[in-house]
């Protein structure tokens, strides 16, 4: 999970403000039922495309771009379709962290722009995030955000519906929201790509990890593969050096090529950016564990040189 600041929270896509969308909200409010949304609006192409672009820190997708699940940072191409996810569940809420207290959903937020995220079915499924929404504060009171004018004209009052603002923020949600929270303050890794909570609010990290299933087996294996590919390259380069294929300068050159690619893993467009940043922030520990002792200093020096070179490049 990585911080996603690009969405224009004050200006929802026009599709969410058309009369039909507002009438759906009104119907859900009147019937106190989030099932009133017939899924016409939030999976609409412009909305999905904007969410997909924001997931890799862009406002518009380019050919070849690979959007990511907002929770696990898996890219679409892993055979799963990214879905529009309601951060606050619209139809019903399972409220407990460990128990199953069931409450009505946030039916008035079914088409609220700041309530819509993009998630893969593995993070969003019934046995994962599903309808769960535990909080530490007081559950928000339902409101009617639809205004009817004297001639029946309909409009939306979003003053109390934004996920990042009062009164909803006073609920103190436990599950991390990548558009509001900075995941690196709550989540860290070990050298084997397992996620755990950390920092003063480690509980939010741990509950989010469990709820979004961020340590599911395949996901951990895919994250670890990112590092293993680098480890393999380092080993091949060392083998070439020991066989006399490369001299000292050649090995140093190859290490620096690897280091440049390692640093690219910090990029927001890459899959598993939070993990890529963890690897880079803790590169000395990874090298200590995974690289033959005779070559550790040499690799670390190459890494430092590449970092220094990149700092000289004007932004
Ligand atoms: Zn996911």
30-74: pLDDT as tens digits: 999 998 888 777 778 889 899 999 999 999 989 989 999 999 999
Opening angle at CA 137, ends 134 and 140, nearest 5: 85
Ligand 1 centre distance from Cα of residue 213 (Å):
8
> Which pLDDT band, with edges at 50, 70 and 90, does 233 fall under?
very high
> Which pLDDT band, with edges at 50, 70 and 90, does 286 fall under?
very high
Ligand 1 centre distance from Cα of residue 194 (Å):
15
CA–CA distance, 119 with 179 (Å, rounded to integer): 13
Question: Which of these, 314, 220, 298, lies nearest to 259 by C-alpha position?
Answer: 298
Ligand 1 centre distance from Cα of residue 227 (Å):
20
The ranges assigned to domains in the chain are 14-176, 218-311
Ligand 1 centre distance from Cα of residue 274 (Å):
13
Ligand 1 centre distance from Cα of residue 102 (Å):
24
Ligand 1 centre distance from Cα of residue 110 (Å):
21
Strand partners, 92: 104
Question: Which of these, 42, 8, 23, lies nearest to 112 by C-alpha position?
Answer: 42
Average pLDDT, the chain: 93
> Which pLDDT band, with edges at 50, 70 and 90, does 19 fall under?
very high
Task: Say whether the peptide bond before residue 167 is cis (omega within 30 degrees of 0).
Answer: yes
Does the pLDDT of residue 177 top 60, yes or no? yes
Ligand 1 centre distance from Cα of residue 32 (Å):
30
Ligand 1 centre distance from Cα of residue 158 (Å):
28
Ligand 1 centre distance from Cα of residue 124 (Å):
7
Least confident of 94-108, 129-143, 189-203: 94-108
Ligand 1 centre distance from Cα of residue 80 (Å):
9
Does the pLDDT of residue 285 top 80, yes or no? yes
Ligand 1 centre distance from Cα of residue 156 (Å):
31
pLDDT cut 90: percent of the chain above it:
83
- Mean pLDDT on 252-269: 97
pLDDT at position 43: 72
- In total, the chain counts a number of residues equal to 315
Ligand 1 centre distance from Cα of residue 56 (Å):
14
Ligand 1 centre distance from Cα of residue 77 (Å):
12
Q: What is the pLDDT of residues 291-309, one digit of tens each?
A: 999 999 999 999 999 999 9
């Amino acid at each position: 999970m990585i911080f996603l600041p690009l969405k224009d929270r004050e200006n929802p896509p026009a599709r969410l403000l058309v009369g039909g969308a507002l009438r759906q909200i009104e119907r859900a409010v009147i019937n106190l039922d989030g099932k009133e949304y017939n899924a016409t609006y939030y999976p609409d192409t412009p909305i999905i495309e904007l969410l997909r672009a924001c997931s890799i820190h862009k406002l518009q997708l380019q050919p070849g771009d690979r959007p990511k699940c907002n929770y696990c940072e898996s890219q679409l191409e892993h055979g799963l379709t990214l879905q529009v996810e309601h951060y606050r569940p619209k139809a019903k809420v399972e409220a407990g962290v460990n128990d199953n207290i069931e409450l009505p959903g946030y039916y008035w937020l079914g088409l609220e722009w700041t309530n819509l995220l993009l998630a893969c079915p593995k993070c969003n499924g019934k046995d994962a995030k599903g309808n769960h929404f535990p909080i530490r504060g007081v559950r928000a009171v339902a409101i009617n955000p639809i205004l009817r004018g004297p001639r029946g004209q309909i409009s939306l009052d979003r003053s109390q519906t934004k996920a990042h603002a009062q009164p909803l923020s006073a609920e103190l949600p436990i599950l991390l929201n990548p558009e509001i929270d900075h995941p690196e303050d709550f989540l860290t890794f070990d050298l084997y790509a397992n996620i755990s909570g950390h920092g003063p609010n480690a509980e939010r990290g741990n509950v989010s990890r469990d709820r979004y299933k961020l340590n599911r087996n395949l996901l951990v294996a895919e994250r670890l593969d990112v590092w293993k590919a680098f480890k393999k390259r380092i080993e091949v380069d060392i083998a070439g050096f020991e066989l006399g294929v490369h001299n000292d300068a050649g090995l140093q050159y190859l290490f620096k090529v690897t280091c440049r690619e390692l640093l690219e893993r910090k990029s927001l467009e890459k899959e598993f950016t939070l993990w890529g940043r963890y690897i880079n922030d803790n590169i000395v520990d990874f090298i200590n564990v995974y690289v033959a002792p005779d070559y550790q200093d040499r690799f670390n020096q190459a890494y430092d040189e590449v970092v220094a070179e990149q700092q000289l490049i004007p932004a």
